[in-house]
Structure 1
Amino acid sequence: MKFMATLILFALSLALLLPLTSAFPTLRKGSSLSTEKPEDVLSSPNGVFSAGFYAVGENAFCFAIWFNHPSQSQPHTIVWMANRDQPVNGRRSMLSLLRTGNLILTDAGKFTVWASDTLSRSPVQLLLYNTGNLVLRTLEGDVLWESFDFPTDTLLPQQQLTRNTKLVSSRSRGNYSSGFYKLLFDNNNLLRLLFDGLEISSIYWPYPWLVSRKAGRSTDNKSRIAVLDLLGKFSSSDQYNVMSADNGVVLHRRLTVDYDGNIRLHSWEEEEGTWVISWQAIQNPCAIHGICGPNGICSNVADSGRKCSCIPGYKMKNHTDWSYGCEPRFNLSCNKNDSGFLLLSHVEFYGYDFGYFPNYTLSQCTNLCLQWCNCKGFQFKFDEDNGFSKCYPKTTLLNGHRSQDFKGDLYLRVPESNRLSYANSVQEFRLDCSSQGTVKLDRKYVKSRPNGTVKILLRFACGLGGLEVVCILLVWCLLIRDQQSWGADKQGYLPAATGFRKFTYAELKKATMGFSEEIGRGAGGTVYRGVFSDSRVAAIKRLNEANQGESEFLAEQTQMGVNAMDGEGETEDRRLVTWVREKKNRMAATTASWMEEIIDPIMEGTYEMGKMEILIGMALQCVEEDKDARPSMSQVVEMLLSHDNDHYN
């Protein structure tokens, strides 16, 4: 019991130590994460990493993985991005795990900007591991896709850099799109840093003039694998190994190719809550190629750090980005006499030479450059170790830097007419960074063309719906009208079965002037004199009691109408009945005599006297004044059958 209590206490303590988050542990088939829901985030079990949509601008998002450190006061540290070069819209963009097993990222619900290109018939799920690896796998554990195989600018511990992968820097500090610097294995199995600029490419680490052995590298191992471990050791298959300054301690670490072209190893300092640089590959920032662009000079100042400037006679091409370099203010002529040279001491532009010309004098090197119209200048230095000079005519001025350690000079070709004005006019420019710091993406969301068939079907459906509404209203009106008609016995306009009109109480009250002129009284009620709108005079009886039901009341009303009809005057039928009855009473002594009086002479000799007597007697009974004296149908049938039976007997 004591052990169980200790175990429960330990579990509660562990639960309190775990980070509180509303993030999803996994993404399954048919589900998605949306840019419009900030809570749509995947979280690693240890709470160190998160994956979701990260805002990289105004209404621009990338699906990314980031460290949950630093705190909320500082931006999260991005370690991977799916769509760094094509941010998606902040509305209707989703990362969806399709039922086919493919993981896709759609922009504004219009088109797919990124996909894992996977396929699986079995159930799959997307998980974020404690290592920061985003993995798409089956429930059995088979990995279909993982982010470690597609790094961006960061290598995490236990993540391998291989022959098929590379690290690519960001464009700038706040621009996460792909930059110009890449860490990769070349075809000689060496781990290299490459500048892949707008127009040219060049390798700058390790130094290109060093052979692999002098750089401490080996080309023998063809596996081409580099990895960073948890203790701070970075090792490569070309025998390049480096240890961080704080190696030997398990920390959160990351190796990055930064936007300035340098490789750095970062360690998380828990006490200060920040990242510290524990190692970097290049100590001199001006040794990084392309840092100041074409015709630019990099200077490393101890107090202020790296600075870029344009060579004399040149101006900055893009005041927001040094990678575009500088452009000339003049046009060079192919005429030798129209060109002159400016001396730039301790300035080197590496690479892009017409050739190497050893033991050339300064005059020879000058004439050599003037022979080519596209010669921009030449590098000239004296090799004290070998005792001769070196001449390097330049077609392009790239990777320029100024250093007192460089024992050479650059002779820059300029128009002779402007040579004196350009002397000592190396211009320094400052970046004109926009306060907004945003770039509008050149992207248009074309509205889909309307489908004619869909429009026709929609109009048909709307018309059909409108027709149904009209029919419903008509039926509803008819029902209301029927209900009103059903109450006509109270309001008065339906004809009765007898053909007599029914009057409403209001009409009768108006005809009798409020039942004011009484003309008679009986047990059932009081009779009043009434005059209708057509000047007809009527006797209107107001019943004292009406306790019976509505149908009984209507039946009584109908019977009263029949009685009234009988009393109005004698019809032809009634006179016939009276005449037959009188003949019978007068000649009752001899049946044959009175019957012969009433039978049609045409029927003489064609009827039976007994049967005719029964028929006439039965007819007279059916028209008796008293309804109780009239025979029923069963009695009529019995009377007819009795005569037939007597006849056969």
Structure 2
Amino acid sequence: MRPANLSCFDVTVAVVVAVLLTTAAPSVSGQRSDYPTANLSTRWVNNAAVLPHSVTYSDGSAVRAIVLRSPKAFYGPSFAAGFFCAPPCQTFVFAIFIVYTNSGARITLPVNGMAQVIWSANRASPIGENATLDLTRDGGLVLREANGKLVWSSGTSGQSVAGMEITENGNLVLFDQRNGTAWQSFDHPTDALVPGQSLQQGMRLTANTSTTNWTESKLYMTVLPDGLYGYVESTPPQLYYKRQVRTNKSGKNPTRVTYMNGSLSIFVQSTQPGNPDDSIALPKANSTQYIRLESDGHLRLYEWSDAGSKWTMVSDVIKIFPDDCAFPTVCGEYGICTSGGGQCICPVENKSSSSYFHPVDERKANLGCAPVTPISCQQMKNHHLLTITDVSYFDESQIIMNVKNRDDCKQACLKNCSCRAVAFRYGQNDSDGQCQSVTEVFSLQSIQPETVHYNSSAYLKVQLTPSASDPTQNKMKTILGATLAAIATLVLVVIVAIYVRRRRKYQELDDELDFDILPGMPTRFSFEKLRECTQDFSKKLGEGGFGSVFEGKIGEERIAVKRLEGARQGKKEFLAEVETIGSIEHINLVRLIGFCAEKSNRLLVYEYMPRGSLDRWIYYRHNNAPLDWCTRCKIIMDIAKGLCYLHEECRRKIAHLDIKPQNILLDENFNAKLADFGLSKLIDRDQSKVVTVMRGTPGYLAPEWLTSQITEKVDIYSFGVVLMEIISGRKNIDISQPEESVQLINLLREKAQNDQLIDMIDKNSNDMVSHHEEVIQMMKLAMWCLQNDCNRRPSMSMVVKVLEGAMSVENCLDYSFFNANSVISAQGNPSTYSAPPQASILSGPR
């Protein structure tokens, strides 16, 4: 057994019995094990059949203990470490929990004594059955899924770790050859503290999202140099609790908060354990206790009751508020909590029947409210402040300096798009108050001015419709719009008449040509044949700018038939394009099976891709499960190989010019293939650049499009954008995001400059998060492809080599990526160098 006199554990119990629970040597009821620690090279499998110390409680939760330490009395609440699952017990965390044991150190089932988790390693990435925990030969404690995927590690591999134990106060420790501490759970708190545990300066307790959702919420408590603070996460964090300590003592010791029997003691500069600078009084312990920061922001003390065989809440540690309305999430975002009754309502402007907010859930008012119209920074002139009187806001730290009156307070918010609300607090004089500004609005609290001896009003920013913001201007726009519509209709009638006349002439000339015999072309189908194959074009798969796609069947082969609409080309040009498309073939290009050209009918027949386009799998619009990292890597490799073939392996280079997720199709095995060659351009090998009119999709356009002189490197820029979309699981331009995050590439630039690339990883996928190091390397490849200077971008063959591991990404990358807005605004003004589309603009599925 590891010596019990180590000062870091503050051991006060003379006799403590520890039991090692292993699959190889399970303990026998009524006997006690003599293995106090776990040795190196030990593996535990998360399976009730091989972990005999497994218990399922009446609420559906379960524990599978690995190491357990019983109290001196041999029975009662005991600390254990192992696998834990919350009801309905579908996934597990590796955790430290308090269980009830009998005199034989066996976990028993008292009436209400459910296990209480006080620490967990992987609450954001729960594991399944048959996951493994290894205390490796080189000293690492490693948690993996059954398939070997890394979930969590202590980070001690290579250190001189000698073994593992759980101490009498619930600290899981990896100790070295000299009995020193190499790693301990006390240094990595989650949401709970046990007696003897300290929260050091900079550490956090972060609450779970709810009692059933164990992911981290926005609520946390942390130790700062002058005391204990509670925040709700936003930009910047909003303060809802502080226990500030003022002292004149000199010293350089970091501040810590220690949970002691009877107090939560704050040591700011004191060096002696018994001389705190401040303390919060707690009930003395009659049995085992712990403190938990809960999902509502309360810090509560719990104690085991032998009388009721259950855990009882005995104190609300930070209950200094008159009622729960002072906590930031009691009524969710924008909800107003009525003092006394604790009811939640949505904001309504004084003396107004207009409704600018609606409940998130009509049946659960405490979940908060949402704006009826999202706030847009592009329409700041339509912003309006909703006046709510006799309400206060919990965070009093965000004070706008030099703003003393109500009107200046409101104007300061209207001029700053990041501001979502201001609260103005004042006494008898309205011109001498405090203006609080917030960028994210949590719960507000109704007040009675005569009770709190001050006045306070809140002004919530809302988005008005143009008619609501300026009725006179809207009327003028209506008149102007009607006039322009009449003129546009007349012009349209003239254009249609001219178009119909020219189209008839074009068809008459075109039908004189005979193209039945052209060597090297795909199969030619009659229109009636394709009508029959598609059951009269009855099952539409999708549609785009060039027409609609229908599912069909030729024999036993499923096909996708693209029916081009409004085709401008004559039959000769169309067939020339078909010949070009049919001459290229690659496993990562959608295969052209045949075509139809009869009079004005233009159709293309492609192989059927059952999983559709990539966008439906990475934007989560169809409630699909997140793609795992391996599948995303495979898709990225397929796209790269397809582009490499077009750029470097064809007789003439082919620039696709419209690489985006909608033009990347997936077969049943998630093999990716490039589609839609409708905007492609052929480039001779001896050409360094070509001049062409701007084409493509906003957000994926490379900077050189502004000059209309492009190379195949524009595809590589687009590939970099798509690569970031696959990694982040979101659209390149997403107006539903906060203003600063609307453009993915701008956000990437910011995160790259601040060394925060891990924030870009798709949070919907635990697998992506667990492979974050590989994902960040993939981001660096994307950033190489996004270089503003096209000459600094890699070729597609170099990209393939990086993906295969045969080459590294260039080190000196320029993070000042191009702002897509420039190209978007310029797209409506084609370059003066634009040339008319040639036959090399290939029409493909869209």
Q: TM-score, normalised by structure 1?
A: 0.52
Instruction: Tell me, yes or no, if structure 1 residue 261 matches structure 2 residue 300.
Output: no
Which residue, 133, 140, 153 being the options, matches 1:102? 140
Instruction: Tell me, yes or no, if structure 1 residue 146 matches structure 2 residue 184.
Output: yes
- Cα distance change on mapping 1:23 and 1:241 into 2, 3 Å: same
Q: Is the 8 A contact 2:288 2:303 kept in 1?
A: yes
- 1:516-562 superposed Cα distances (whole Å, 9 cap, x missing partner): xxxxxxxxxxxxxxxxxxxxxxxxxxxxxxxxxxxxxxxxxxxxxxx
Which residue, 86, 95, 99 being the options, matches 1:64? 95
Q: Is the 8 A contact 1:225 1:237 kept in 2?
A: yes
Q: Is the 8 A contact 1:268 1:276 kept in 2?
A: no
Counterpart residue number, 1:55: 85
- Cα distance change on mapping 1:131 and 1:315 into 2, 3 Å: same
Counterpart residue number, 1:409: 457
Counterpart residue number, 1:194: 231
Greater displacement, 99-108 / 386-395: 386-395
- 1:459-484 superposed Cα distances (whole Å, 9 cap, x missing partner): xxxxxxxxxxxxxxxxxxxxxxxxxx
- 1:163-185 superposed Cα distances (whole Å, 9 cap, x missing partner): 25322211211222222222222
Residue 266 of structure 2 aligns to which amino acid in structure 1? S
Match runs of 1:31-50 below 5 Å:
31-37=42-48, 38-39=51-52, 41=65, 42-46=67-71, 48-50=78-80
Residue 267 of structure 2 aligns to which amino acid in structure 1? S
Instruction: Tell me, yes or no, if structure 1 residue 88 matches structure 2 residue 127.
Output: yes
The 3-state SS of whatever aligns with 1:89 is: coil
Instruction: Tell me, yes or no, if structure 1 residue 206 matches structure 2 residue 242.
Output: yes
Counterpart residue number, 2:389: 344
Counterpart residue number, 1:30: 41
Matches of 1:310 and 1:63 in 2, distance apart? 40
Counterpart residue number, 2:195: 157
- Cα distance change on mapping 1:86 and 1:408 into 2, 3 Å: same
Instruction: Tell me, yes or no, if structure 1 residue 235 matches structure 2 residue 265.
Output: yes
Q: Is the 8 A contact 2:223 2:257 kept in 1?
A: no
Alpha-carbon deviation of 1:258?
1.5
Instruction: Tell me, yes or no, if structure 1 residue 134 matches structure 2 residue 172.
Output: yes
Which residue, 252, 266, 288 being the options, matches 1:252? 288
Counterpart residue number, 2:156: 118
Matches of 1:344 and 1:307 in 2, distance apart? 17
- Cα distance change on mapping 1:26 and 1:339 into 2, 3 Å: closer
Q: Which runs of 5+ in 1 are unaligned?
A: 1-10, 420-438, 451-649
Alpha-carbon deviation of 1:445?
8.1
- 1:69-110 superposed Cα distances (whole Å, 9 cap, x missing partner): 4836453111111111111122x3111111112111111232
Residue 62 of structure 1 aligns to which amino acid in structure 2? V
Q: Is the 8 A contact 1:293 1:398 kept in 2?
A: no
Match runs of 1:200-349 below 5 Å:
200-206=236-242, 213=246, 222-229=253-260, 231-238=261-268, 239-245=277-283, 247=284, 249-273=285-309, 274-284=311-321, 285-302=324-341, 306-312=342-348, 313-317=356-360, 325-330=368-373, 341-348=386-393
- Cα distance change on mapping 1:106 and 1:383 into 2, 3 Å: same
Matches of 2:387 and 2:359 in 1, distance apart? 19
Counterpart residue number, 1:175: 213
Alpha-carbon deviation of 1:378?
5.0
Q: Is the 8 A contact 1:234 1:242 kept in 2?
A: yes
Alpha-carbon deviation of 1:376?
5.8
Matches of 1:331 and 1:443 in 2, distance apart? 30
Alpha-carbon deviation of 1:310?
2.2
Instruction: Tell me, yes or no, if structure 1 residue 392 matches structure 2 residue 435.
Output: yes
Matches of 1:275 and 1:286 in 2, distance apart? 23
Counterpart residue number, 1:581: none
Counterpart residue number, 1:501: none
Alpha-carbon deviation of 1:28?
1.9
Q: Is the 8 A contact 1:348 1:402 kept in 2?
A: no
- Cα distance change on mapping 1:319 and 1:58 into 2, 3 Å: farther
Residue 278 of structure 2 aligns to which amino acid in structure 1? Y
Q: Is the 8 A contact 2:344 2:366 kept in 1?
A: no
Alpha-carbon deviation of 1:130?
1.9
The 3-state SS of whatever aligns with 1:68 is: strand
Alpha-carbon deviation of 1:141?
2.7
Residue 119 of structure 2 aligns to which amino acid in structure 1? W
How many residues align? The count is 399
Q: Is the 8 A contact 1:357 1:390 kept in 2?
A: no
Over alpha carbons, which structure has the higher Rg? 1
Matches of 1:101 and 1:365 in 2, distance apart? 58
- 1:372-430 superposed Cα distances (whole Å, 9 cap, x missing partner): 7887665444423x7854363856462422122362223556659879xxxxxxxxxxx
Alpha-carbon deviation of 1:264?
2.1
Percent of aligned positions that are identical: 21
Matches of 1:378 and 1:59 in 2, distance apart? 44
Q: Is the 8 A contact 1:254 1:267 kept in 2?
A: yes
Q: Is the 8 A contact 1:168 1:183 kept in 2?
A: yes
Alpha-carbon deviation of 1:281?
0.7
- 1:261-291 superposed Cα distances (whole Å, 9 cap, x missing partner): 1222222222122222234213433323344
Matches of 1:375 and 1:29 in 2, distance apart? 55
- Cα distance change on mapping 1:221 and 1:259 into 2, 3 Å: farther
Alpha-carbon deviation of 1:443?
7.0
- Cα distance change on mapping 1:143 and 1:259 into 2, 3 Å: same
Pairwise CA RMSD of aligned residues?
4.4
Matches of 1:279 and 1:449 in 2, distance apart? 49
Alpha-carbon deviation of 1:53?
0.6
Q: Is the 8 A contact 2:238 2:395 kept in 1?
A: no
- Cα distance change on mapping 1:80 and 1:169 into 2, 3 Å: same
Greater displacement, 106-115 / 347-356: 347-356
Matches of 1:44 and 1:117 in 2, distance apart? 24
Q: Is the 8 A contact 2:396 2:436 kept in 1?
A: no
Alpha-carbon deviation of 1:61?
0.8
- Cα distance change on mapping 1:254 and 1:387 into 2, 3 Å: same
Residue 85 of structure 2 aligns to which amino acid in structure 1? A
Matches of 1:264 and 1:329 in 2, distance apart? 36
Q: Is the 8 A contact 2:191 2:205 kept in 1?
A: yes
- Cα distance change on mapping 1:135 and 1:152 into 2, 3 Å: same
- Cα distance change on mapping 1:242 and 1:412 into 2, 3 Å: closer
